[in-house]
Each structure stands twice: as C-alpha cells, then as structure tokens.
Structure 1
Amino acid sequence: MTGPRFATLAVRGSYNHEAAAHNLGSLGEPAYLATAQHFDSAETMRATAAGEREGWVYARRGNPTVGHLEDTVAALEGYQVDAEVSAAVTTTGMAAITLATTPFLSTAVGAKPNIVASPACYGSTVMVFDKRYGDERGVSVRWVDDPLSVDGWERHIDEDTRFLYAESPSNPMVQLVDIPALAELARWAEIPLIIDATLATPALMRPLGLGADIVVHSLTKAAGASGRSMGGAVIARHGLQFRGQPAEMTTNFAGYLRSGPMRDMGSVLSPFNAWTLLADIRELRARVDSMSTSALRVAEYLANRSDVVEVFYPGLPSHRTHHLAKRDMWLVDSGGPGRDAVNRFGFLLGFRPAGGVPAAHRVMDRLDLFWRANNLGQVKSTVTIPAIGTHQQIGGDEPVPSDMVRLSVGLEHTDDLIEDLDQALTRRDVAGRRSTGPSEAMPEIAVDRVE
C-alpha cells in the first residue's frame, strides 16, 4: 500500500485503533475538557514537566485534544512535502501570525530589525506590522511596491531583515505571489519565508512544498467551515537554517513555539475548539473542491455581466496572477491513473458593480442568500464590502477599491447563488427603473491599503 492520501489523513489524523482502545473504543478523538493532568507520583510529575516522558501537564502547555488537531494540521500541510513538519495551533489566525513572526524580531540578533512584506494582506495583519511592530517596537516595515516583482523584494533586504512575508492568495484581492522565487531569495538571504495560505488551504496548495519555511492559517475559515470555533495554526519544516537565530528555535520551530512563547504568553487553543475543528477539517478536501467549483461559476457569471465593472478571481484569465494560480493551485490527489489533475482556485472572489459605492451598498443589502458578515470560508456564503468592514481601519498608499463587494462562496446550490446575485444586481426601484446608478445619499468611502 501507498501511504494514506490527503482525505484519509484528514479523517484519521493521529487517532488510530490503538488510541481508540485507550479511550473505551471511541471512534472520534475525545474532548479532554480539563485544565490539568493528574500524576500518580511526584517523580512522574517531575519527569513529565521536564519532558522526559509523555504527558501534557497543564493546558497552557498542551492538551491531548489540541495535540490531535496539531498532528492533523501538520499531516495535511506536510502532505507530499519532502521534509519533517510540525504544527502549533493557536486561539486565532492572528495569534498564529503574531507567534510565527515575533520570535524573529529579537534585539539579541540586532538592534534595528526590519521585515519585508507584501502590502496585499488582511487588514489586521497590516495593523500588527505597522502599529504593533512598527510604531510600538520600532521595527522597520518595508512594504513591497509590486509583490510580483522579485527584484522589488530583493531591493528591500539587508543584513537586518528578519523575514519575508506574504499572503497567497491574498484577502480580498485574491492575488498570489511567486512562492518558489521568493523562497530562493529567502534562502540566499538566510531568512525565513512566511506564507499565509488560509485562502488556499492545504487542499489546494501547500507552500512548504513550494519552498516556504513557515505557513500560517486561520482555522476559523475553511478548515472550521461550520463557523463554531476560532483557531489558527503555525506549520514549519524542521531543520531550518537562518542567520543569527538559535538552534533551539530553528530545529523544530513549531515545537519551540509550544514549549516557549505559547507556554509563556498563553495563546493556546481551548480543547473544545480543537474538538470542533477536528470535526470540520475531516471533510476539507471535498468541501473546498465544491466551494471552489461554485466560486469559478459565480466569477464567470459576474465577468459576463455588462453591469459589473471588474471581477477579482484567480481562476479568471483576466486576473493578474492567473498564471501563478494555474501553476500552484491544484486539488490535492485529483490526478492519478487515467485522469488529469485539476486546478481549483478557491472560494473567495470580489467584484465591482457599475455605479460605484452606492451600487455596491445596494447590491449587498439586496442579497437574500448571502449572509452579510465579515467572515469567509464558511459553509454559508457570506458577503461584505472590505472598505467598510475587514479593511476599514487600514491606512496606507494602495487602496482597496471602495466599491468592491467580496463574496465567500459556500455550499449552497450554485444556481441559487447566481439567481440571488442576478436579482440583487437587476432589481428595479418603485419607479420602475433599474437601481444601479449613483445615489447622493451614499457618500464615497475612503480606504487606503490594498486588502
């Protein structure tokens, strides 16, 4: 037999027949809703706390249910990657981003650290980099003018650069970066390449296999598509080689986070949330396949409408990073004897209706099936306007279009979603005229940072 394939790993994780035998035969991972472990003796406590024997001691250091989720996430992100991989799960996706980046900013390595990043990032990521790191800690944040220009990245790197960071695809413009090219640049500079791959999920793209060193995810999104729990994950290959960084950090980065920063700062996922996320992640491949297939149909439908100015979706040939999506985004295990691998481009897209900001607001308000919410990757389709929602607080030089409507396509029937969009775009007002033109009652909204 070959090793377990992706879908099998998602269903089974690290919970096997032997583990079930120790849990009264339970088919699923038990939820250990406890904050601490009992020990049969002082010596057992000492040895476990010292890491000399198996055990979890205290929930801030670990928990069996949380451990099963970490094993499963590592197996999925490390699938078909020629490296040993470990994961640490966190309370939120933003906690994962903070934990993945903060250790590299130590002043023990140098007094004036800087980071080089794509400006096409989620709004809260920009806030962490600009405000928490830049304004509060004096870290120089160097935003790359064009994330597709490798030369542009290289020009910002010097001996004080601590890491390269990008989202691929990004939220909300769904732009990719050339991960193999940036990985080569990071190796040359002896610094990590950190990729937020939340929108792809490991079902469509695994950046560690493309050369990235560390991957972060918001498990709140497609991995936890029921919408019951928040969570994040940091996944890293073992044996990383970075200049100036201690071996205790680079040998097993995720393990270092669990035993040090997470233990000390307390950003540990609750066992109940880990338990619900384990239930959701089992169907990740099939769910992302279905959602992505629907999203492509929705994007093609919108692109063919005369009352839609622009559509943002990497599956469309018109998208700026379509060539990268065609190269890097594949439904895992879709190829095999007698069948070709298939591209899938994710569940998120955006569009600009004719009529500017007033039209964007009207379309959003008229949608019946889409839920107006600032979340994505759920089984329920959601809609937001990033300029007034996810990216309202961001300042900078490159704007998210203020009239952009962002859609996250869920598991409803695709025809129903398209019909909902059709009625929202074409509904007539009481005077019998189509209401897609500007309205003086709706002011233009100024927002300044890409995504």
Structure 2
Amino acid sequence: MVTDARFATLAIRGSYDHAESANHRGSLSEPAYLTTAQHFESTEAMFAAAGDERDDWVYARRGNPTVRYLESTVAALEGYQVDAGVSATTTGTGMAAITLATSAFLSRSVGAHPNFVSSSACYGSTTMVFNNRYGDERGVDVRWVDDPLSIEDWARRIDDDTRFLYAESPSNPTVQLVDIPALGALAREAGVPLIIDSTLATPALVRPLGLGADVVVHSLTKAAGASGRSMGGVVVARHDLRLRAQPEELTADFAGYLRSGPLRDMGSVLSPFNAWTILADIRELRGRVDAMSAGALRVARHLEASDKVAEVFYPGLETHRSHGIAKRDMWLVDSDADGGPAENRFGFLLCFRPKGGVEAAYGILDHFDLIWRANNLGQVKSTATIPATTTHKQVGDAKPGKAPVPPDMIRVSIGLEHLDDLVEDLDQALEKS
C-alpha cells in the first residue's frame, strides 16, 4: 500500500496495488472471492495456515481475500494522519461490530463484576444490547450518562471495575457529539479503552483514533456502502492499547485479536460479496460525504427558517448543543491540501420536529413524494423515518416513562438528489400536514 497517499487515493487504491493486480491477471478491481474455502498445494501448507504459521485464509469464517482488501482500506482511512499502527476487522452488520468490540472487554477472567460507562444518546439497537443482552442477561452494570457533554458525569461513574467508555459521535438520531479528546484523556487515566461509533461522521469528516479514541466502530451499511446493496460492520483499533487488567494478546492488535479469536469462533463474518460491493462504494466516500453534508446544512437552515418547524437538530447549526465541538472536530479531510482553508462539514443526517406534534409528523412523512420512507441512512437516496416508532421503538416500549427521542421527531438522511428538489419536497409535505 502507498502509505503517503492522500485520503481519496487510499479510498480508491487501498491495498490493491499494481503488484496485487498482477497476481490477478491485471484486473483493475479487487476480485470477488465468492468461495467458502481455500485449496492448499500440500498438507504442510494446509497445517501451517490452520496453525496461523502463515498468513492464509483457510476458511471463510477465518477470513477471505476480498474481505481483507476491505479491512485494509478501512484501516487506512481511519488511520489517515493518525500517529499509530491501525488495523480493522469486518463483521456482517454494524450491530455485530458493536457487540464484538464491546463484549471482548467484559470477560469475568479479569474481574467478577464488570461495568461500563456509556452515553445515553445511542441508537436503539445498541441500547437494547447494552440493557438486555449485557445488563439483564449477563449481570453487567451499564452506567448511562444522561448528559454526554458533561465530563464530570462520565468521571464519577468510573471505578476499578469499569471496562470501557462508549459513545456515538454524532449520535443517531439527535446528532449529539461528545468531546473525544476529553473522554480519551479520562479513559487513559482510568486504563480503559474509549470506543466511538463514528458511523454518522465517517473517516471523511472525523477520525476518532487521532483525537484520543482507542477503538472505532462503523456500520458499513450506511455511508460507506451508500448504494444500499449490502450490510456490513467494522471494528478499527489502534495497536498497543495501554489497558489495565487486559491480556497482551488483546491489547497488542485488538482488531487482529478479534479476527483470529472471537469473530472466528462466533461467526458473525462479512460475506465476501458484500465486502466487494462496499469496496466499490467506499472509493467515492470523501466526495459523496462532502456533497451530502453540504446539502444537509442547506436543508437544516431552510427548516430552521420555516414557520412550520418547531425545532431542528443538526450540529452545523449554532442552536445545536454540540455545535462548538462540531466546529472544532468535523472537517472535510484534505480540504486544505491545496493551500486554502480547511472546511467544516457536519454530516448528512438531521432531525426536525414540526409544529403540530405527532399528527403533523405522521402527515409530513406520508406526504413525501421524493424522500423515501425508510429506516436506513447514509444512502445516495434521501430517506426519512420517525425514530420513536421505528429505530427506537423497542427502547420506548421497554421504558415508556423515558422516551429516548421525542415522538414527533422526523429523521432525514440527505442523499445526492438535487437540493432544490429535496427542499421543494419538504416544503410541500410541510404545507399539506
């Protein structure tokens, strides 16, 4: 891999260079190895690969060449301008990546009563995994921080049994950021990892490993795989994690440890076909996220000025609680490469609450003609949903008295349609509601 290349070049080339191409009859694109197992030239070679004495893939649950191309590309993008060794391992979905990254630190072999501290501004399925799978089923103490911007609230929940800190930045759906450098310093002092879900930023806007995080997770189903054809997830980690009470095999290369141990054993692997389609999508990540983010800012400002809208959630607006952190940390990668000033970009997701409450929100959703009613985000097609009744419904049903998001909030993911058409669709839906 060309390690001194710029971000866009890394996204296009990854680890598939001229030499790799020569090994595949000159193919310009990474081949899709749509096969479950590897043939070996000899018994000796087979045994060596199975015993991890040579870097082969053996069986698709243990790896696949196409999947490895994607892993090396994502590691290069998340590790861009980061002064550390970085590696990645992919999973079948984003939730599998979150579960794989967090469960690895909850072993009772390093303490009988594990706990972890998490921002309460989390995606609905993440909340359910933490509360139900970890808390109720395994007895893990989940310590929620209601105000993720309060470092004091994080600090007072950490003790000797804390295993990690976790946050989404920006969060789904309220696009709330956290102060990654401050949380990173807190995690280092405690000797635990800081894990950041950076799906909504993508490495085109934020690379948390360079800000103080130790582990980053993404749903590759979203902006990385913007065509909407495949699901996937990824865990990216810096090497040589300095963590208390964790074995060296885990801390030296955490992503590699996950690939060769927990992922291999539990089997939540990424399909090579899905890896192949995501590789095609991720090549244009920077330009796509740039355009979608610029569009989202224009739409957010338009909605903020509407007399039919009560509230808009978007970190690019000065009214958003984490606008200051967004201005500091969210930059279009390499936007200053030609000597001009660096440019802020604030992501492709926004939410708003219409005047008229829940009935108005349902009416707006029903009246969209161009924007798709769908629960995915980050695609080239603009989508909208009402999180309280879809992505976060399970959380609300489990705790009716503590709704995680307002019931009248509409989440909109801005795609690549012409902005005038998107604004017109929003306006007509607002008028009819």
TM-score in terms of structure 1 length: 0.94
Q: 1:144 is matched with which residue?
A: 145
Q: CA deviation at 1:2?
A: 8.6
What is the CA deviation profile of residues 337-372 of structure 1, one whole-angstrom value per residue up to 9, with x for unaligned ones?
Answer: 431000000000000010000000000100011100
Contact persistence 2:101–2:235 (CA under 8 A):
yes
Distance 1:167 1:59 in 2: 30
Distance 2:354 2:202 in 1: 28
**Partner in structure 2 of residue 67 of structure 1:** 68
| Structure 2 match to 1:246 | 247
Looking at structure 2, the residues matched to 310 and 240 of structure 1 have their Cα atoms a distance apart, in angstroms, of 41
Among candidates 417, 423, 426, match of residue 421 of structure 1: 426
- Tell me the residue number matched to 1:366: 367
Query: Which structure 2 residues correspond to residues 173-252 of structure 1 after superposition, within 5 A?
Result: 173-252=174-253
Distance across 2 between alignment mates of 1:302 and 1:234: 35
Aligned to 1:306: 307
Partners of 2:14 and 2:97 in 1: how far apart? 21
**Which segment drifts farther, 396-405 or 38-47?**
396-405
Distance of 2:404 and 2:107 partners within structure 1: 32
Q: Following superposition of structure 1 onto structure 2, how do residues 20-169 of structure 1 map, counting pairs within 5 Å? A: 20-169=21-170
Between 206-215 and 337-346, report the one with greater CA deviation. Answer: 337-346
Give the whole-Å Cα distance in 2 for the aligned partners of 1:399 and 1:54.
45
- The answer (yes or no) to whether the contact 2:392–2:404 under 8 Å persists in 1 is no
1:321 aligns with 2:326: no
Separation in 2, partners of 1:359, 1:135: 37
Q: Any unmatched runs of 5+ in structure 2?
A: none
Shift in Å, 1:48? 1.3
Partner of 1:402: 407
What TM-score comes out, normalization by structure 2 length? Answer: 0.98
Distance 2:257 2:320 in 1: 39
Q: Secondary structure at the match of 1:83?
A: coil
For the residues of structure 2 that align with 1:20 and 1:215, how far apart are their CA atoms? 30
Which 4+ residue blocks in structure 1 deviate beyond 2 angstroms? 395-399
The CA distance in 2 between the partners of 1:201 and 1:158, in whole Å, is 31
What secondary structure sits across from 2:99 in the alignment? helix
1:4 aligns with 2:5: yes
Specify the alignment match of 2:339 in structure 1.
338
Partners of 1:349 and 1:2 lie apart in 2 by 35
TM superposition shift of 1:278 = 0.2
- Against the structure 1 CA distance between its residues 224 and 337, is the aligned structure 2 distance closer, same or farther, given a 3 Å change threshold? closer
Structure 1 residues 2 and 96: CA distance shift in structure 2, 3 A = closer
| Rounded Cα–Cα distance in structure 2 between residues aligned with 1:124 and 1:399 | 12
C-alpha distance in structure 2 between counterparts of 1:354 and 1:407, whole Å: 17
Partner amino acid, structure 2, of 1:331:
L
Amino acid at match of 2:422: L
Please report how far the alpha carbon of residue 46 of structure 1 lies from its aligned counterpart in structure 2 after TM superposition: 1.0
Query: Identity, % of aligned pairs?
Result: 72
The residue type paired with residue 194 of structure 2 is L
CA distance in 2, matches of 1:407, 1:77: 26
The aligned length equals: 428
Aligned to 1:430: none
CA distance in 1 between counterparts of 2:387 and 2:48 reads 51
Work out whether residues 113 and 161 of structure 2, in 8 Å CA contact, stay in contact via their aligned partners in 1: yes
* Structure of greater Rg: 1
CA distance in 1, matches of 2:3, 2:261: 36
Unaligned stretches of 5+ residues in structure 1: 428-434, 436-451
1:124-161 deviations in Å (ceiling 9; x for gaps): 00000000000000001000121101010000000000
**1:112 counterpart SS class:** coil
Q: Which amino acid aligns with 1:426?
A: E
Quote how far apart the aligned CAs of 1:398 are. Answer: 5.2
